[in-house]
Amino acid sequence: MGQYTAPVRDMQFVLHELLHVEDELKQLPAHADIDTDIINQVLEEGGKFTSHVLFPLNHSGDREGCHYNKADQTVTTPAGFKAAYQQYIAAGWPALSCDPAFGGQGLPLVINNSFYEMMNSSNQAWTMYPGLSHGAYECIHEHGTDEQKALYLPKLISGEWTGTMCLTEAHCGTDLGLLRSKAEPNADGSYRITGNKIFISAGEHDITQNIVHLVLARLPDAPAGSKGISLFIVPKFLPQADGSLGARNPISCGAIEEKMGIHGNATCQMNLDGASGWLIGAPHKGLQAMFVFMNAARLGVGMQGLGLTEVAYQNAVTYAKDRIQMRSLSGIKAPDQAADPIIVHPDVRRMLLTARAYAEGARAFCSYVALQLDKELNHPDEAVRKDCAGQVALLTPIVKAFITDNAWIATSECLQVYGGHGYISEWGMEQYVRDARINMIYEGTNTIQSLDLLGRKILIDNGAKLRKFGAQVQAFVEENGMNEAMNEFITPLADLGEKVSKLTMEIGMKAFQNQDEAGAAAVPYLRVVGHMVYAYFFARMAKIALEKQDSTDTFYKAKLATARFYFARLLPETATLIRQARSGSASLMALDADLF
């Protein structure tokens, strides 16, 4: 059903020509030996695995879905999923960017990031099983005791066990301060966990023997609200000291959700009936510990949006070149056929280029953020680590929200290219639209990401982190301001940078008087800043393409054309968004609730 070819050439362009990853990694002792050949080999092999093993299961997995056995509370994944997972771990893919001290390969996150894009393009529902495991690994690696690390990390890194995060409860979604799950201490240092969780992706399945749940719950003396939440490791089967499996822990799947999309992934209702758990991190500090997992997940969800944008684009292009309908407005283009291929029509081009531009912008952006993460974790200079941490904190909500919003737009446009066939399941396009919709909701809705960006990442430090990124943009503008060939990119980029600064100050002053002003402005504000980020990277990519446009490699001509489309057709959205952000809260809050 359909097709997928990993965009290795564009990934190589981003990593080698735009970001100069090899030079950057040589500054990091842990990755100083990573060279272009290693990077390219991983990309090429990753492309083969995802296109040949995972992609063929995407449509069938969506149609079949997961099967719940009420009698024994088990879940069976769609046909082929378990076998594909065995191939995945046999090839060593779970260990790619993990700590060698626990069996990992120790490659940088920026390479792992590209591989996850491929996996999400080929099969998002399948990818969520190992994807959540990586978040569990990060959390235990950061906050676990030495004993917990020794027991759990090797199994998560090898892929023998998978992981989940159990946050949400039926009465509280984003507001985790309302959760009711309880943790009562046992004499042996463990805890007895009781409660019910919902919407737990990969909470139960048959692809591995054990599942390591990270569960938020309250200790008996916990203060109210989010400051009274602790984090616990709750395995499906209790591991023995040697890593072998012991007794079944009383954490079970009560049902799986019937969902709009990602049918191949089991979204579970999990019941904890006195399950044994072990505290990870400090008491009442579980939310801080879980943020390691949540931030990794937010970056991962951005990659899901990118993956779906890319695969939808690829299939829509193929269809547009093959489908004949009407004649070109500027004259016949295919005289040997009864009609012209629809790719000749301007609005079909608009839809395709929208998806292409959002994919290429997201790829550059996500790779940049992943590289900043590598530097935050591994750079020998503390000042550099601190600066990179600030950038990652600033950009993470934009990765999650802007990319997934754009994926919803792009997959919808790609479905539209197909016309009525796009709405029919046999073509596969409608699945990408359905799958894309969840990415705007989970791991913190995009409104929450917008509030996080504006309130916690920008206004809280008077815009210091944003100014640092803005200085980077301004330096590029000044460096290239006299280059006439770059004027079409530099002028709108500089203009938007000034407008973002003014808008930020204006919203901050209004919010100081009334915090609803921040809530009213947050969503359009995030999109404005997201466009500024994309404009910066497209301008940088355009500079490279301009310098190489006379090359026999037509890649650069295509890159330049995509950049020009972005600046001409997509960036102007910021004018409307700025007006929306400035319009204030009055029109939103004036109507009494009982009049709705």
User: What residues are annotated to the active site?
Assistant: 443
In this structure, the number of other CB atoms found within 10 A of the CB of residue 581 comes to 24
**Cα(408)–Cα(428) distance, integer angstroms:** 15
Q: What's at 28, amino acid-wise?
A: L
Which residues have CB under 8 Å from 386's CB, separation 6+?
none
What Å distances lie between residue 560 and 39, 70, 475, 556, 573, CA to CA? 25, 55, 22, 6, 20
Enumerate the β-bridge partners of residue 270: 197, 253
DSSP calls for 460-486: GGTTHHHHHHHHHHHHHHHHHTT-GGG
Neighbours of 552 (CB within 10 A): 5
Among residues 123, 119, 197, 143, the alpha carbon closest in space to that of 165 is found at 197
Helix (H) or strand (E) holding 496: helix 487-513
**Residues whose CB is less than 8 angstroms from the CB of residue 383 and which lie 6 or more positions away in sequence, other chains included:** none
Q: Which residues pair with 172 in a beta bridge?
A: 169
What letter would DSSP give residue 225? Answer: G
233 neighbors 148 (Cβ within 8 angstroms): yes
Distances, alpha carbon 518 to alpha carbons 46, 237, 513, 543, 588, in Å: 42, 46, 10, 36, 12
Alpha-carbon distance of 360 to 10, in angstroms, equals: 8
What tokens appear for 343 in the block? Answer: 């790719």
Q: Where are the alpha helices (DSSP H) in 323-422?
A: 346-378, 382-417
Instruction: State whether residue 581 is helix, strand or coil.
Output: helix
Alpha-carbon dihedral 103, 108, 111, 113, rounded to 10 degrees = 90
Token readout for 111 is 């390479």
570 to 229, 385, 398, 409: CA distances (angstroms): 42, 34, 17, 12
Neighbours of 510 (CB within 10 A): 18
374: Cβ–Cβ under 8 A, 6 or more apart, which residues? 24, 25, 28, 31, 108, 109, 110
Q: Are 302 and 530 in contact (CB under 8 A)?
A: no
User: What whole-number distance in Å separates Cα of residue 387 and Cα of residue 199?
Assistant: 35
| Token pair belonging to 348 | 């079909």
Radius of gyration of the chain (CA): 24
Longest dimension (CA), the chain: 83
